[in-house]
């Protein structure tokens, strides 16, 4: 296992951006758009997007959970997009800096997605409204023969914040802090409410090698990578305090 600190994404205004290729010898995946299909092998980079919008914007005709790449959703006006390119099979902690981006102003929900013909997307996850903000997430990317099959949010039932009065457990699954405690909200809050998204990869690459990072996250959960992000320590759950 190797651990990397994935670069923070820039938030782009509803444009599905094509990232400039980064120089990495072992990265053989030439697809840099989150809306293009690809297959990957271990050591490749993999581009996916996270769209922020109202929950209803991710559903077409009240029934179909379409990918944000699907133009039928017409997400353009009300949404924000972050694009990431982690290395597959590395445990990464992605951050979305919210010093100038307030998720509650864009509908407060997010969906992770990639692909077009073989589109995959997560369920929509609650991020923030004017009362509560959730800052810690774990996203699992599941591949089969190197093709993305599924993205899902892994919850721990608020185990990481139980008993801590700084946090509220929403729907028995998300540890949330009061949005009024967050910086730059005009309420005198001091907490950096940037989002931390821990990634894990499961399944197989195109040569049928098994991704191990999901296994590692399950085992490392109590240690986590949040210690790498000491500037987030006020908003992340207390269990990580010992490791800063």
Ligand X SMILES: *[C@@H]1O[C@H](CO)[C@@H](O)[C@H](O)[C@H]1NC(C)=O
> Of the candidates 17, 170, 220, 228, which one interacts with ligand X according to CB under 6 A?
170
Name the β-bridge partners of 210.
204
Tokens of 200: 């894990």
3-state secondary structure of 227: helix
Site for ligand X in 34-63 (CB under 6 A): 61, 63
- Of 33 and 235, nearer to ligand X (C-beta) is 235
CB count in 10 Å sphere of residue 104: 19
**b/e for 105-122, b at 16 or more Cβ within 10 A?**
ebbbbbbbbbbeeebbbb
Q: Return the number of the residue (134 or 148) whose C-beta is nearest ligand X.
A: 134
Verify binding: residue 129, ligand X, rule CB under 6 A.
yes
The gap from C-alpha 22 to its chain's centroid, in whole angstroms, comes to 20
Q: Which of 95, 122, 138, 160 binds ligand X (CB under 6 A)?
A: 95
The neighbour count for residue 148, using CB atoms within 10 Å, is 25
CA 139 to centroid of chain Cα atoms: 6
**Which residue, 23 or 165, is less far from ligand X as judged by CB?**
165
Size of the site for ligand X (CB under 6 A): 22
Q: How far is the CB of 89 from ligand X (least distance, A)?
A: 25
Tokens of 155: 């919850």
What's the closest the beta carbon of residue 205 comes to ligand X, in angstroms? 31
Phi and psi at 206, nearest 5°, equal -70, -15
Please identify, using beta-carbon distances, which residue of 42 and 85 lies nearer to ligand X. Answer: 85
Per DSSP, the three-state class of 186 is coil
Q: How far is the CB of 67 from ligand X (least distance, A)?
A: 16
Phi, psi of 228 (to 5 degrees): -70, -10
Q: Does residue 190 interact with ligand X by CB under 6 A?
A: no
Closer by beta carbon to ligand X, 84 or else 214: 84
Closer of 65 and 209 to ligand X (Cβ): 65
Asked whether position 97 contacts ligand X by CB under 6 A, the answer is: yes
Report d(CA 141, CA 152) in Å as an integer: 7
Q: How far apart are CA 31 and CA 114, in angstroms?
A: 11
- Of the candidates 93, 127, 225, 232, which one interacts with ligand X according to CB under 6 A? 232
* Residues in contact with ligand X by the rule CB under 6 A: 61, 63, 95, 97, 99, 126, 129-132, 164, 166, 170, 192, 194, 231-232, 234, 236-238, 241
């Amino acid at each position: 296992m190797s651990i990397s600190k994935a670069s923070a994404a820039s938030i782009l205004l509803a444009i599905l951006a094509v990232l400039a290729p980064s120089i990495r010898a072992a990265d053989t995946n030439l697809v840099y758009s989150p809306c293009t299909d690809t297959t990957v092998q271990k050591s490749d980079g993999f581009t996916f997007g996270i769209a922020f919008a109202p929950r209803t914007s991710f559903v077409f005709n009240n029934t179909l959970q379409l990918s944000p790449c699907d133009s039928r959703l017409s997400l353009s006006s009300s949404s924000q997009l972050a694009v990431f390119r982690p290395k597959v099979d590395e445990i990464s902690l992605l951050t979305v800096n919210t010093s100038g981006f307030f998720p509650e102003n864009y509908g407060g929900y997010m969906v992770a997605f990639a692909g077009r013909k073989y589109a995959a997307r997560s369920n929509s996850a609650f991020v923030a409204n004017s009362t509560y903000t959730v800052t810690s997430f774990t996203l699992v990317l599941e591949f089969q023969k190197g093709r993305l099959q599924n993205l899902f949010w892994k919850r721990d039932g608020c185990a990481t914040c139980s008993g801590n009065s700084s946090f509220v457990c929403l729907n028995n699954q998300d540890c949330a802090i009061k949005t009024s405690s967050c910086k730059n909200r005009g309420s005198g809050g001091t907490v950096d409410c940037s989002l931390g998204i821990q990634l894990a990869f499961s399944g197989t690459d195109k040569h049928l090698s098994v991704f191990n990072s999901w296994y590692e996250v399950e085992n490392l959960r109590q240690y986590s990578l949040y210690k790498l992000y000491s500037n987030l320590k006020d908003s992340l759950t207390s269990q990580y305090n010992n490791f800063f």
